[in-house]
Amino acid sequence: MSDMMDDMEGGEGVVKKFMFVNRKAPHGTIYALEGLEVVLVSAAFDQDVSMVFVDDGVYELIKGMNTKGIEVKDFSKTYRALDGYDIEKLYVEQSSMDARGLTEADLIVDVTVLDSAEMASLMAEQDVVISY
Amino acid sequence: MLHIVNKSATERNSLESCLRLATKGSAVLLIEDAVYAVTKGGTAAANIQAAMADLQIYALGPDLDARGMSARVLDGVKVVDYGGFVDLVAENNVCQSWL
Amino acid sequence: MPMVEVAGKSFEVDEEGYLTNLADWNQDIAGYLAQEEKVEMTDSHWEVVNFLREYYEEYQIAPAVRVLTKAISKKLGAEKGNNKYLYELFPYGPAKQACKIAGLPKPTGCI
């Protein structure tokens, strides 16, 4: 991180609610990785950040990936670093999990599971929603 | 004929169209995000199981591994490596990619 | 991409001198990269460099400085997990210099 950004920390800035919505499977396209990198950068600005996983986005959090065969970075491990970046609000949509035969036990990080109505109201209370 | 699908069945309709339009005896190879379709418990699983009556369904192993899905593959789906991918292309005189 | 030669073998680095292939890294290369950064490696330097490599192995990213200091504080104690200690070891920034010596890419979010 640049020194300039370190200096900005602790300043009396405005805190807004940012939601990053992940809707794409990992590896097949670059969206999931790019979205994660933006979240890591956003952590430096001390905003109220939440990450949401709906539709194929829930596939980003699957345990036990092995990407050696397709020669790409296994960034699923990086979701476990989010806690250290003080990004602790991770949400997944129940129906997206159900449609893919997944349960919380299949995921690499702790998440809060919301039904679609709860997800909708969480989305509605944000200041900024950025979608991938 | 070999049909190749690379898009997630829960995001796009490529697989659905492929299964509807592939003729009996054809081979269907799922790669990249399409491999999620051959995993247990998902909404695409029933379509795949029904399609296996008429079609040979293949999935690319390294793509399943990368997505943490290798242990969830439906019975009857043949998992192939890159060499198997090449063999399929060589065995079939026509390949259709469903983009 | 530029190549550098260390102990008779050549390695690829990017235009800023970061090692291109993480797997190429070894102590000789770390020594070379440290020399380029004008950092004299002591046990304390190695401790941070090795910590960074372990962090990368576990999370697949190079941490931001703020995250690094917190993580070091947790593992090695508060007397090491602070900016003063880390900047004394790596005057041009632990992110820039220690990551480079550890053979990692530039930290995500580094502008």
CB contact under 8 A, C66 and A41: no
Tell me the percentage of chain B whose pLDDT exceeds 70.
100
Q: Closest partner residue to A99 among B10, B66, B81, by Cβ?
A: B10
Residues 6 or more apart from C36 whose CB is under 8 A from it?
C17
User: Nearest CA to CA, how far is B79 from chain A (Å)?
Assistant: 14
Contact C90, C33 (CB under 8 A): no
Domain ranges of chain C: 3-101
Closest CA to C68 of C43, C96, C26: C96
In this complex, whether B and C touch, counting 3 or more CB pairs under 8 angstroms, is: no
d(CA A131, CA A35): 8
How far apart are alpha carbons B68 and B58 in whole angstroms? 17
Question: Which of C16, C67, C104 would best serve as a mutation to test chain A binding (most A beta carbons within 10 A)?
Answer: C67
Write out the two tokens for B35: 């491999």
Q: What is the mean pLDDT of residues A47-53?
A: 96
Active-site entry in C50, C59, C109, C110: C110
Q: Which residue of A has its CA nearest to B63?
A: A70
Per-residue confidence band for A7, with pLDDT thresholds at 50, 70 and 90? very low
The pLDDT value given to residue B21: 86
A90 touches A111 (CB < 8 A): yes
* CA dihedral of residues B1, B67, B69, A91 (deg, nearest 10): -130
Q: Would you say A85 and A78 are in contact if contact means Cβ atoms under 8 Å apart? A: no
The partner residue sitting opposite B67, judged by closest CB among A29, A55, A62, is A62
Encoded tokens for C22: 């993480």
Which residues, 6+ apart, have CB-to-CB distance to C23 below 8 Å?
none
Mutation target vs B (from A63, A100, A103, A107; most B CBs, 10 A cutoff)? A100
User: Tell me: domain A15-131, CATH 3.40.309.10, correct?
Assistant: no
Q: Is the distance from CB of C37 to CB of C94 less than 8 angstroms?
A: no
Instruction: Please give the structure tokens belonging to residue C59.
Output: 């999370």
Instruction: Supply the range of the domain harboring residue B43.
Output: 2-98
Say what the pLDDT of residue A4 is. Answer: 44
Q: Is A34 on the interface with C (CB under 8 A)?
A: no
Domain C3-101 carries which CATH code? 1.10.10.370
Q: What is the mean pLDDT of residues A39-48?
A: 91
pLDDT tens for B5-42 read 999 999 999 999 899 889 999 999 999 999 999 999 99
Is the CB of C60 less than 8 angstroms away from the CB of A84?
A: no
**Does the annotation mark C110 as catalytic?**
yes
The mean pLDDT value of chain A amounts to 91
For residue A101, give the nearest of B39, B65, B71 by CB distance. Answer: B39
Conformation bin of residue A27: beta by default, left when phi > 0, alpha when psi is -120 to 50: left
**Distance (Å) from the alpha carbon of A65 to chain B's nearest alpha carbon:** 4
Using DSSP's 3-state secondary structure scheme, residue B56 falls into strand
Domain boundaries, given as residue ranges, for chain A: 15-131
- Distance in angstroms (rounded) separating the CA atoms of residues A6 and C84: 13
The DSSP call for residue C20 is S
pLDDT at A5 > cutoff 50: no
Q: Which residues of B touch A27 (CB under 8 A)?
A: 32-33, 63, 66-67
Closest CB to A66: pick one of B11, B33, B66: B66
Chains A, B: CB contacts within 8 A come to 77
pLDDT tens-digit profile of C54-85? 999 999 999 988 899 999 999 999 999 999 99
The answer to whether the CB atoms of A25 and B8 lie below 8 A apart is yes
Give the bridge partners for C4, in sequence order: C11
Q: Is B23 exposed, middle or buried (0-12, 13-18, 19+ CB in 10 A)?
A: exposed
